[in-house]
Chains A and B, each alone.
Chain A
């Protein structure tokens, strides 16, 4: 059974640009959640999507958005990139809501903003 797949793995963007990251969950999983990891702040919850609906959102500005498609694949978008957005972005999938189920993480997308 394939795991959670994130693309791209590594990318470099310039301040002011936007970026879209993709996450393909484990087959059959309907929940996809997104996280940001930085050396200073550690891991932080961004948002969760379940059956194409955003159900929960962390404390991030509106520049961070996402969506989920009918096949449960999810994308995360960051607009007007800032240097502080440089981070490892992780997505995770779970069978039901992440609230009561084991979560399975992808390898992450390393974003560098220059």
Chain B
């Protein structure tokens, strides 16, 4: 069964803290996506990974194929980073399978 497990479900941190969100998946994925969803529904694609590491501004995403695990890191977190972060594994013909999401709140 294609599964995606995300942790933690909820995370509250202080401004400036280093944030890590984890995602585990089953075998056989072609890519893993990290998505950000703000209140109101809009979703923004942050990263698409099939190997290694990607960085964009204060956001870093890594994936370990052997361990079937990916992490999203936020450095120098800011209140505007408050959102729901969702990982999604691409199982090819079976489509994207989504994690339940991590509700992140950054307090000033």
User: Does A45 count as interface, using CB distance less than 8 angstroms?
Assistant: yes
Per-position contact with A for B41-54: 1 when CB-CB < 8 Å, else 0?
11111001010000
- B31 lies within 8 A of chain A by Cβ: yes
Contact, CB under 8 Å: B92 / A104: no
Q: Are B100 and A48 in contact (CB under 8 A)?
A: no
Judging by beta carbons under 8 Å apart, are A58 and B95 in contact? yes
A43 in contact with B86 (CB, 8 Å): yes
Interface size on A, residues (CB 8 A): 27
Find out whether the CB atom of B96 lies under 8 angstroms from the CB atom of A42: no
- Neighbouring B residues of A45 by C-beta, 8 Å: 94-98
A42 pairs with B44, CB closer than 8 A? no
Query: Within A60-96, which residues are at the interface with B (CB < 8 Å)?
Result: 88, 90, 92
Interface residues on B, range: 20 to 34
Considering only residues 38-79 of chain B, those with a C-beta below 8 Å from chain A are: 40-45, 48, 50
Q: Does B22 contact A (CB under 8 A)?
A: no
**Which residues of B84-108 have CB atoms within 8 Å of chain A's CB atoms?**
86, 88, 90, 92-101
Partner of A98, one of B40, B96, B97: B96
B97: chain A residues at CB < 8 Å are 45
Candidate in B33, B41, B88, B90 with the most chain A CB atoms within 10 angstroms: B41
- Contacting pair B42 A100 (CB below 8 A): no
Contact for B88 among A43, A101, A104, A108, CB less than 8 A: A43
Alpha-carbon distance between A90 and B41 when the two chains are bound, in angstroms: 9
Q: Please state if B41 and A110 are interface contacts (CB–CB under 8 Å).
A: yes
Instruction: Determine the distance from Cα of A58 to Cα of B97 in the docked complex, in whole angstroms.
Output: 10
B30 at the interface (CB under 8 A from A): yes
> Which residues of B are interface residues toward A (Cβ below 8 A)?
30-31, 33, 35, 40-45, 48, 50, 86, 88, 90, 92-101
Closest 10 CB pairs of A and B: A45-B95, A43-B98, A105-B43, A108-B41, A45-B96, A107-B42, A58-B95, A102-B48, A56-B95, A56-B93
* Interface residue ranges, A against B (CB under 8 Å): 33, 35, 37, 42-45, 47-48, 55-58, 88, 90, 92, 98-105, 107-108, 110
